[in-house]
Amino acid sequence: MSSSAELSGRVAVVTGASSGIGEQIARTFAARGASVALLARREGRLEAIVKDITASGGTAASYPVDLTDAAATTAVAGEIARELGDAGIVVSNAGIMLPTPLGDLNPPDWSRQVELNIGAVNNTLIAFTAQLVRSAAATGVADLVNTASFAGRSVFPTFSVYAASKAYVIHLGNNLRAELGPKNVRVTTIQPGIVGTELQSHIADENVRTRLAATRDTIEWLIPQDIADVVAYAVGLPARVNLPEITVLPTRQTV
């Protein structure tokens, strides 16, 4: 059984924290004693989550930001360091899924996935890596967790750009681990299968949306708390232990 204080004293940053996996990771970290900075674009939603966390005895603060804006992300990182202290855990989770058949492709959807699924990850790393290294030097360990997807290792028709963007995150994580591991910064790439979040509601193509929804007939989808529990476990391990890649699938999902 996990301790409610196992992350006590650690400052955690969670991007894409206004809903879904990011929200549940933020809530779970706070419940386990971390001081949590929630980052996303939706200010009202972030403030509501922070209010709920603090009402439950947790410590959290909201930092509305467009993570595709490198300068804004770096500025927010500075605010967090001043107000909460250096981040010892960073979960780069912001992302979007906009699958469409190539013949019906809406170019802005293609660009948006690249900007958020790749660009926002890069901006987050640039903004927070120095804090992670300082935190690891001070406490013995820090954690960078990047949210990829099982799609980054598989072939899903109409998901080409999304899958490719998540493959980038997987390979990036492996290379970052080689660089940051010797500095006691653990790098973990979480690769979920099908999780019920608002990502599905962003799908414009009705055929794709229907096909995905039909999998519920044979597969019990994961819920965001499943992923949050796995991430909390990984960052709560002894400093000598790193889980570089974690694939989390519904039991009945095979592809």
List the catalytic residues: 162
Amino acid symbol at 194? I
CA dist 18 and 80 (Å) reads 17
Amino acid symbol at 47? E
Residue in 248, 246, 232 with CA at minimum distance from that of residue 3? 232
**Residue 60 pairs with which residues in a beta bridge?**
36
* DSSP 8-state class, residue 192: E
First CA to last CA distance, the chain? 32
